[in-house]
């Protein structure tokens, strides 16, 4: 079954809602008009009946004060009346000429009610072929009910008027429903035209043309805000694709370089026979390149896991920050001594943070390794730990060359290396700080860098304390 489009559903339910409103209005108006007309007829009948009652008692002999209207069907303004006077037993004493030989019905129930001084209004569905409205009231003389007066008039003019009015209201309602529905369809089409243009443009946008944007209608209404939101999403997607493409290109470049060196060294070693010492030197050099490739592959795998959000699902555990720092310092101490860099850990009370297994050790190891690499011979690396409300603050400071203001916002980008790092012989591919930020932010923490171009860089990590 084909599902209706949005415009068809809007027009349909708009028409249904209007039809319900018109039907309710039609029924209410018809009921009110019918009641109003019957009230007018009842008031006219009562006035006529009271007039006839007064006329009947004006003289010694009973007579009817007849008002003959124009011949033909009774009119609302000139009612042909049917009048008869009964005694208390229901015998006809006098009746109007318009009744001919016919008498108005007077059942015993009616007579009993009128004898009890009750004015009775009733509708006769068929009296001589016409619907008739009948009023029966007592005629009193000296406080006693002496006669029963009945006055009736045809309801055919009212029924004819109501039928004509209903037909007119039906025609007006159907016309109004058609006009409003057609107008609603046109308005819905115009209102949804920007969405149709957006859908057509969105179908054309792909990986090769992410620079394209959805057409803006120019208004600041709901559709305009929707276009702004979707275009903002496309901006973020374009930046994400650009970062991903750059990351892939940089990763391919970083992988190609050691592989090229490996191939070159192996080709040179195989050009002619060599003694075991030369083969051993080549193999050691190849082993260094393999270790570098292994580290790069591990870093790329960690970044892929961070992008996929996997660390969020790892088991978290309470880890003592000072213990992890001591372990990292012991592991990196030999390299720092070879470079004559002093690593100092300021004494601090134990602080525990809740991180996934191995995450904190990798963050601290990367920060210490960077600080040692970029510190000059005779430099100093200082590690501090302290409490800050419900967080633990960890800082790693070095006496390296520092980072310029222009480069500082980019230090957490993947594969980014500043001018000083590229100009120096310091090894690395620019993934360490990117991994640190991914791990810290995955644990709900924050990481920041402060540096002076003249020298000295401080990296600050904040993590929530373990409960």
At residue 442, the pLDDT reads 82
Give per-residue pLDDT as tens, 274-311. 888 887 888 888 887 787 777 777 777 777 777 666 55
Give per-residue pLDDT as tens, 151-206. 998 888 888 899 999 999 999 999 998 998 888 888 888 877 877 787 778 788 87
The distance of Cα 435 from the centroid of its chain, to the nearest Å, equals 36
3-state secondary structure (DSSP) of residue 46: helix
Cα end-to-end distance, the chain, whole Å: 57
The distance of Cα 192 from the centroid of its chain, to the nearest Å, equals 18
Q: Is the dihedral of CA 396, 402, 404, 407 positive or negative?
A: negative
Domains detected in the chain: 6-162 (3.30.450.20), 222-307 (1.10.287.130), 315-464 (3.30.565.10)
Using the CB atoms, write b or e for 296-335: b if 16+ within 10 Å: beebbebbebbeeeebeeeebeebebbebbeebbeebeee
Which phi and psi (to 5°) does residue 145 adopt? -80, 115
Question: Cβ atoms within 10 A of the Cβ of 2, count?
Answer: 4
In sequence order, the 6+-apart residues with CB closer than 8 A to the CB of 19 are 177
pTM for the model: 0.52
Cα–Cα distance for residue pair 431/297, rounded to 1 Å: 11
The tens-digit pLDDT sequence of the chain (467 residues) is 457 777 788 888 888 888 999 999 999 999 999 999 989 988 988 888 888 887 766 654 555 555 444 444 333 334 467 888 888 888 888 888 777 778 888 899 989 998 888 889 998 888 878 888 999 999 888 878 888 998 998 888 888 899 999 999 999 999 998 998 888 888 888 877 877 787 778 788 877 777 788 787 777 777 788 888 888 888 888 877 777 777 677 667 667 767 777 788 788 778 888 888 887 888 888 887 787 777 777 777 777 777 666 554 456 778 888 888 888 888 888 888 888 899 988 877 788 888 876 788 888 888 998 888 888 888 899 999 988 888 899 999 998 888 888 888 888 887 777 665 555 555 666 778 888 888 888 888 899 999 887 788 899 999 988 76
In sequence order, the 6+-apart residues with CB closer than 8 A to the CB of 376 are 399, 400, 401
275: which strand partners? none
- Would residue 23 be called left, alpha or beta, if left means φ above 0 and alpha means ψ between -120 and 50 degrees? alpha
In sequence order, the 6+-apart residues with CB closer than 8 A to the CB of 332 are 343, 365, 368, 369, 372
Q: Is the dihedral of CA 65, 69, 75, 80 positive or negative?
A: positive
> Contact 90/111 with Cβ under 8 angstroms?
yes
Percent of the chain with pLDDT over 90: 11
Cα–Cα distance for residue pair 335/328, rounded to 1 Å: 12
Cα–Cα distance for residue pair 371/363, rounded to 1 Å: 12
> Contact 99/84 with Cβ under 8 angstroms?
yes
Cα–Cα distance for residue pair 449/462, rounded to 1 Å: 12
């Amino acid at each position: 079954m084909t599902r209706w489009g949005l415009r068809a559903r809007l027009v349909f339910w708009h028409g249904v809602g209007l039809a319900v409103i018109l039907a309710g209005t039609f029924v209410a108006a018809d009921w009110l008009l019918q009641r109003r007309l019957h009230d007018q007829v009842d008031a006219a009948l009562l006035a006529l009946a009271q007039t006839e009652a007064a006329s009947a008692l004006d003289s010694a002999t009973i007579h009817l004060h007849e008002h003959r209207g124009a011949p033909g069907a009774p009119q609302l303004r000139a009612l042909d009346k049917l009048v008869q006077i009964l005694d208390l037993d229901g015998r006809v004493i006098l009746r109007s000429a318009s009744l001919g030989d016919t008498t108005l019905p007077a059942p015993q129930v009616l007579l009993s009610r009128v004898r009890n001084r009750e004015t009775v209004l009733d509708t006769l569905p068929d009296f001589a072929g016409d619907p008739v409205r009948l009023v029966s009231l007592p005629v009193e003389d000296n406080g006693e009910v002496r006669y029963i007066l009945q006055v009736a008039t045809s309801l055919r003019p009212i029924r004819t008027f109501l039928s004509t009015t209903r037909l007119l209201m039906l025609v007006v309602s159907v016309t109004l429903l058609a006009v409003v529905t057609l107008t609603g369809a046109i308005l819905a089409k115009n209102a949804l035209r920007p969405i149709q243009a957006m859908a057509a443009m969105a179908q054309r946008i792909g990986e090769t043309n992410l620079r394209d944007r959805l057409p803006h209608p120019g208004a600041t209404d709901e559709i305009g805000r929707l276009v702004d939101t979707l275009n903002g999403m496309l901006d973020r997607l374009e930046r994400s694709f650009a970062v991903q493409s750059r990351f892939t290109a940089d990763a391919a470049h970083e992988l190609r370089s050691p592989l090229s060196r490996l191939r070159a060294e192996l080709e040179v070693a195989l050009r002619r026979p060599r003694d075991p010492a030369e083969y051993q030197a080549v193999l050691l050099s190849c082993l260094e390149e393999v270790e570098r490739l292994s580290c790069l592959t591990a870093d790329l795998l960690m970044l892929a896991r961070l992008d996929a959000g996997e660390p969020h699902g790892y088991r978290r555990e309470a880890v003592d920050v000072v213990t992890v720092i001591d372990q990292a310092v012991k592991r990196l101490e030999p390299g720092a001594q070879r470079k004559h860099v002093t690593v100092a850990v300021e004494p601090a009370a134990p602080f525990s943070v809740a991180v996934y297994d191995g995450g904190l050790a990798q963050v601290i190891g990367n920060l210490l390794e960077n600080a040692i690499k970029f510190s000059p011979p005779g430099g100093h690396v200082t590690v501090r730990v302290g409490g800050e409300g419900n967080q633990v603050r960890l800082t790693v400071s070095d006496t390296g060359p520092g980072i310029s203001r222009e480069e500082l916002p980019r230090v957490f980008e993947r594969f980014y290396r500043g001018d000083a790092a590229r100009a120096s012989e310091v090894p690395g591919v620019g993934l360490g700080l990117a991994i640190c930020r991914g791990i810290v932010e995955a644990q709900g923490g924050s990481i920041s860098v402060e540096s002076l171009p003249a020298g000295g860089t401080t990296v600050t990590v904040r993590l929530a304390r373990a409960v």
